[in-house]
């Protein structure tokens, strides 16, 4: 029954489906080869994202599919491991609440510090940026020092649909290493912003 509900949620109008993941169980539900007689260019493709994007007449990937892609990427690990993210609650079927982690860059006041963040992807994500706040106290110009909310980050100010949670966390880490910020005095390690 659960599989049928997920399949019914696919917005595709052609006879192929994107790779579907069950958010609650984190298991692959199906992968169907694209076979669309009206669009021979799709025939035989197994990359659901590519086929779906091509077969849906340019429609954007729906919010939940996008978040499932991000969840999969976050679970596999990102780059050198200095940033990571994942769902705050595995039972969050809307995939709204996320946790992020940034390991401070070397040769800065942030070196060897681990920063925890809270990320909320609203109903309009990825068309609108998520709300992001530091849990761990940090002194950066882009962070509100009263509540930890990230307020003035270039990628948030000029948000594009193709940006991701990884984009935001990477940009925050770059801000930590920026010449103007890397020597800023920092709050005591282990302190947190008020919840």
What are the contacts of 68-76 at 24+ separation with CB within 8 A?
68/20, 68/21, 68/23, 68/95, 70/164, 70/165, 70/166, 71/21, 71/23, 71/26, 71/95, 72/21, 73/166, 74/165, 74/166, 75/26
Predicted pLDDT at 176: 98
Q: State the Cα–Cα distance between residues 42 and 35, nearest whole angstrom.
A: 6
Per-residue pLDDT at 20 exceeds 50: no
**Mean pLDDT throughout 175-189?**
96
To the nearest whole percent, how much of the chain has pLDDT over 90? 65
pLDDT, the chain, mean: 79
Per-residue pLDDT at 173 exceeds 70: yes
Band (59; pLDDT cuts 50, 70, 90): low
* 46 neighbors 57 (Cβ within 8 angstroms): no
Q: Full-prediction pTM beyond 0.75?
A: no
3-class secondary structure, 47: coil
**What would the pLDDT profile of 117-154 be if each residue is shown by its tens digit?**
999 999 999 999 999 999 999 999 999 999 999 999 99
Predicted pLDDT at 156: 96
């Amino acid at each position: 029954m659960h599989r049928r509900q997920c399949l019914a949620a696919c917005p595709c109008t052609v006879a192929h489906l994107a790779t579907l993941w069950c958010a609650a169980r984190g298991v692959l539900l199906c992968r169907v080869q694209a076979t669309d007689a009206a669009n021979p260019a799709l025939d035989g493709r197994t990359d659901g994202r590519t086929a779906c994007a091509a077969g849906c007449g340019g429609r954007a990937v729906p919010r939940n599919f996008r978040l499932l892609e991000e969840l999969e990427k976050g679970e596999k690990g990102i780059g050198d491991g200095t940033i990571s993210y994942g769902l705050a609650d595995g039972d969050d079927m809307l995939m709204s609440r996320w946790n992020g982690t940034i390991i401070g860059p070397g040769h800065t006041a942030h070196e060897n510090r681990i920063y925890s963040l809270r990320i909320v992807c609203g109903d309009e994500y990825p068309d609108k940026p998520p709300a992001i706040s530091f849990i761990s106290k940090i002194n950066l110009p882009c962070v509100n020092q009263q509540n930890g909310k990230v307020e003035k980050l270039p990628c948030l100010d000029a948000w594009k649909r193709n940006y991701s949670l990884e984009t935001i966390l990477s940009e925050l880490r770059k801000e930590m290493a920026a010449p103007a910020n890397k020597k800023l005095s920092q709050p005591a390690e282990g302190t947190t912003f008020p919840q």
